[in-house]
Structure 1
Amino acid sequence: MGQVFYWMNTSIDGYIADSDGDMAFMDPPEDFRQEANDHVRRTGAFLFGRRLYEAMEQPWTQDLGGDGASAVEREFAELYRKTPRYVFSDTLQTVRDGVTIVRREDAASVVTRLKREIDGPLQLGGPELAVSLLDLVDEFWMYAFPVMVGGGRPYLPVRENLRLRLAEHRSLASGVTFRRYVRP
């Protein structure tokens, strides 16, 4: 049975984008890229909100062979393209091959079905989508980059207390930290 892992990268003060909507402060170092590849290698499916889908899809589905991309980046692109992707959106009408559109009204039933059908992690991304599916999220993953941005889009805009237990905490050589939380 699959488990839903909500994973977003953040600043150390908890923002996935700064107040201008920019995520450039999270320029990933090589050790983070390798760690991301290790996670994606085990991922059963990606579950994306529309904005995250649009941010991820274009760079990782293009040919990275001749643009100076590193071997780790080319590996991520290959793993990304091989992994089934679901985008939760009421506005998208078409998507690339390998991607399934899920309408918001069907989100909970589709994720419940995927948890039964797919072995391995179901990697959920997008804070609004995560809040809408909060009861189905098994773990909360956060890679915090060593920068403070002072405001912007938060990691998870919950409207009530959500008690969690720290299950894992590690630091990469680059200063990026990983925290994994589970429900108590």
Structure 2
Amino acid sequence: MRDIVYSFQVSLDGYIEDASGRIDFASPDAELHQYFNDYEKAFDTHVYGRRLYEMMQYWETADQEDEPIVVEYAKTWQSLEKVVFSRTLDAVEGKTRLATKSLTEELQALKALPGKQIAIGGATLAAEAIRLGLVDRYHIVIYPVLLGGGKRMFPVFDQPQHLKMIKTQYFESGCIILEYERLN
């Protein structure tokens, strides 16, 4: 079965956006951007909450930009299947569909299909998947910045989530990749 991976860019103090809702602290340099381009090829499906899906819509047309590294990522992203959980959206674009079943039913059905890894994104949606025991791996890109507040990557849990580190990687920019798998 395929793994479900919660992947996010985060500040050193654990925030995915600042107190104003901005994510501009997470601007990858060329080295990190190329890492993301290569990393994305391990996936064939993304599962999003509405807000993250709307932010990622940028990539639907980013292949028209001049920067080759941006075009490469855009083309990879556009080729992926996307499933969006939303109570407010009526339509989505590209290779995207709105979820029609519960989070558990959708993720279990995706995992049972042949293919590559499945990415889940959106802190609220991922928190629910974590609580349900559906997230297999965590991929965290830590930026060398302290935001002091904002939206946290992880919710408060009722019980500890035990993990095993499976990868670390360091970048010239000071960013660090940490990858863990779930133990329980």
TM (norm. structure 1) is 0.93
Letter in 1 for 2:95: G
Task: Quote the RMSD (CA, aligned, Å).
Answer: 1.3
Size of the alignment, in residue pairs? 180
Structure 1 unmatched ranges of 5 or more:
none
TM (norm. structure 2) is 0.93
1:44–1:118 contact (8 Å) kept in structure 2: no
Letter in 1 for 2:150: G
Deviation at 1:178, TM superposition (A): 0.2
- In the alignment, which of 130, 133, 136 is matched to residue 134 of structure 2? 136
Deviation at 1:63, TM superposition (A): 4.8
Distance 2:119 2:62 in 1: 23
For 1:180, the equivalent position in structure 2 comes to 179
- In the alignment, which of 114, 119, 126 is matched to residue 110 of structure 2? 114
- In the alignment, which of 140, 153, 160 is matched to residue 151 of structure 2? 153
- In the alignment, which of 86, 90, 107 is matched to residue 87 of structure 2? 90
Q: For 2:53, what is the secondary structure of its paired residue?
A: helix
Deviations 1:87-129 (A, max 9, x none): 11121111113101014x5221011010010321101111111
2:63–2:72 contact (8 Å) kept in structure 1: no
1:144–1:176 contact (8 Å) kept in structure 2: yes
Distance 2:85 2:28 in 1: 26
1:95–1:101 contact (8 Å) kept in structure 2: yes
For 1:5, the equivalent position in structure 2 comes to 5
For 2:41, the equivalent position in structure 1 comes to 41
Letter in 2 for 1:167: I
Question: After TM superposition, what 4+ stretches of structure 1 lie above 3 angstroms from structure 2?
Answer: none
For 2:74, the equivalent position in structure 1 comes to 77
Q: For 1:25, what is the secondary structure of its paired residue?
A: coil
For 2:53, the equivalent position in structure 1 comes to 53
Letter in 1 for 2:73: F
Structure 2 unmatched ranges of 5 or more:
none
